[in-house]
Structure 1
Amino acid sequence: MKQFIILTLVAMCCACSPQPYKATNKVYRQQAKQWAAVLRQQPAGVAVDSVPVVPWWAGTTNFNLRKPNFVIIHHTAQNSCEQTLRTFTLERTQVSAHYVICRNGTIHHMLNDYLRAWHGGVARWGTMTDINSSSIGIELDNNGFEPFEPAQIRSLVILLDTLKHRYNIPASNFIGHGDIAPRRKNDPSALFPWDQLAQKGFGLWYGDTSLVQVPEQFSTLQALRTVGYDLKDTTAAIQAFKRHFIPSDSTGIPGELDERGKKILISVLENNP
């Protein structure tokens, strides 16, 4: 009986504990309200010399919200979910993500999907340079040197499936932070199971390479550019590709892609025209 009373009191204390992010949640709501006010404003006219100003406004009735078209996966490079949540709720850090997934699979949805998180930084994929404006950022609680927990990956797959169907995001548009910023970032690490995600329809991958022939004039760099990699630093781009598709070789000779690597690169292009 005594033990039952103690457990009941503990449960009551937990239930009555204050919301740990009450103050920052209030700031979130205030900022969302400010942006909502911007959306309600009538679009301003554009003055042109020698052209009469129209004294009335014609607002179209045909519109909706712009939707995300990419998902960028990160690891936090921190030691706990609590540490990351705190980092993303301090204004001075100037970093954020839409989702944080803890090691135990808990998903924290920190920002409305239609709002712009600050997660990509200086990055490029193909011709796109403003990654944050068209993507959803997902942070996995992982210090970068440890395997990703099965419960965490399971939650990630469920979230990716939801986002893919909700926003009609192409399979090829699920990529890593290290892919879009190879000179600065290496996340998610080589321990991340890209192959497992690709099997479920999230991200680029390759098929059987046993019959792939590498053309005599094959250009590794041109092929990487076609996939989407930024070639300002070719060594970094090749390492990013290997970390994503050939993790066992990601610590090999930097800036080089061997025959097997070239076959994999060709297969990636063939499987994702």
Structure 2
Amino acid sequence: MRKTLYIIGLSAFVFSCTSQQNVKKNTYKPKTPVTQPKVVAKPQVQEKPKPQITNDHGVEFFTTNIADPAKNDNTVSYGSIVSAKPAGYKVVKTYFPAIAQNFRQKYLILHYTALPDDKSITVLTQQAVSAHYLVNNTGDNEIYQLVDENKRSYHAGVSAWRNDKNLNDTSIGIEIVNSGYTADASGKRLFVPFNDDQIKKVAALAKDIITRYQIPATNVLAHSDIAPTRKQDPGPLFPWKKLYDQYQIGMWYDDAMKQSYYDMAVSTDFTSKYNDSAFIFSVQTQLQKFGYGIELSGKWDDATKKTIEAFQYHFRPENYDGIMDAETWAILQALIQKYPVK
């Protein structure tokens, strides 16, 4: 009997524990609601359709600007599109062209050959010097192209203007057939004038290049501007003012502004401070500010004299003695005022 009671009591205890576990297991706990972030639909950006690439006998061209000309960005190709051909792969132009691009051609540099027509052709095509174009002196309507505009020609050499150096990398060169100069008994250079028909050719060619590549007036220069200690071309008889007045090519000063600065120079006894190192340093700084690659020595050294001479070739051709007189100084100030560095 005692054994039977023991078994019944043990069974009741097991049942009681099991029931408590089940109650604990089945106790309801309300779930904390989870707020799902709302999915915001992104607006579909509709890409403007790009102009098509032209294909002519397997050669591709893109002749439209879809970039911002105000930033000097330009997608126009003035030749065929040059593309890689990696072995085993295909280069596609699904996203061509990117709008962030511009032209390599930032400068137009003018030269004379100092040689007659036939020798000019030989030297510029067969030797280690070249130009993109050669303007002859034979009276016809031809202009010789010698180098692809997309390639560097070897015309500028060691050169600088404003913040740029080695201008072969960023320029187009035009050579003009002209004998250059001879020297008289005193050593003064006597330059040979240019033919009017040549100048018309130069103007038409320069205008075309400047327009296509958006070359600013400050970047249309003489070889002597970018290499004043080495070069004199195209010299003081090249008609820069005529190109400016008749064709809107290159830089020139405003007469009223120049006269204002001239009057100021004369009224302050310009000549009395001419040899002061502070004044010389100031002149060199202003030449440098305008664009010339000149060292600031504070002396009227040979490099400074040649730089002033180059400036006079371009902007004061009536007198190119390399002396910074009041008129040359006034012209320099007027040009700095008109063409500030941006």
TM-score higher than 0.5? yes
Higher relative contact order, chain-length normalized (CA < 8 Å, sep 6+): 1
Distance 1:66 1:207 in 2: 30
Residue 40 (structure 1) aligned to one of 84, 87, 96: 84
Q: What is the letter of the counterpart of residue 202 of structure 1?
A: I
Which consecutive residues of structure 2, in runs of 5 or more, have no partner in the other structure? 1-79, 182-191, 271-277, 296-302
Q: Is the 8 A contact 1:106 1:152 kept in 2?
A: no
Residue 125 of structure 1 pairs with residue 167 of structure 2: no
Residue 76 of structure 1 pairs with residue 76 of structure 2: no
Residue 152 of structure 1 pairs with residue 198 of structure 2: yes
Q: Is the 8 A contact 1:97 1:117 kept in 2?
A: yes
Q: CA deviation at 1:178?
A: 0.5
Q: Is the 8 A contact 1:178 1:185 kept in 2?
A: yes
Residues 49-77 of structure 1, C-alpha deviation per residue, up to 9 Å, x if partnerless?
A: xxxxxxxx999744467430110000001
Within 5 Å, which residues of 2 pair with 1:1-273?
39-40=83-84, 61-63=96-98, 66-80=103-117, 82-90=118-126, 93-103=127-137, 104=139, 106-145=142-181, 146-199=192-245, 200-208=247-255, 209-212=258-261, 213-214=264-265, 219-232=282-295, 233-250=303-320, 252=321, 254=322, 256-273=323-340
Distance 2:85 2:330 in 1: 54
Identity among equivalent positions (%) equals 32
Q: CA deviation at 1:88?
A: 1.8
Q: Is the 8 A contact 2:125 2:146 kept in 1?
A: no
Q: What is the letter of the counterpart of residue 237 of structure 1?
A: T
Q: CA deviation at 1:120?
A: 0.3
SS of 1:247's equivalent in the other structure is: coil
Residues 142-179 of structure 1, C-alpha deviation per residue, up to 9 Å, x if partnerless?
A: 01131100000001111111111111111121100010
SS of 2:242's equivalent in the other structure is: helix
The aligned counterpart of 1:23 is none
Distance 1:94-1:39 versus aligned 2 partners, 3 A rule: farther
Q: Is the 8 A contact 1:157 1:197 kept in 2?
A: yes
Distance 1:62 1:243 in 2: 43
Distance 1:234-1:109 versus aligned 2 partners, 3 A rule: same
Q: CA deviation at 1:226?
A: 1.1
Q: Is the 8 A contact 1:124 1:130 kept in 2?
A: yes
What TM-score comes out, normalization by structure 2 length?
A: 0.59
Q: Is the 8 A contact 2:158 2:227 kept in 1?
A: yes
Distance 2:304 2:85 in 1: 46
Q: What is the letter of the counterpart of residue 114 of structure 2?
A: A
Q: Is the 8 A contact 2:103 2:213 kept in 1?
A: no
Q: CA deviation at 1:136?
A: 0.2
Count how many residue pairs are aligned between Structure 1 and Structure 2.
218
Which consecutive residues of structure 1, in runs of 5 or more, have no partner in the other structure? 1-35, 43-56
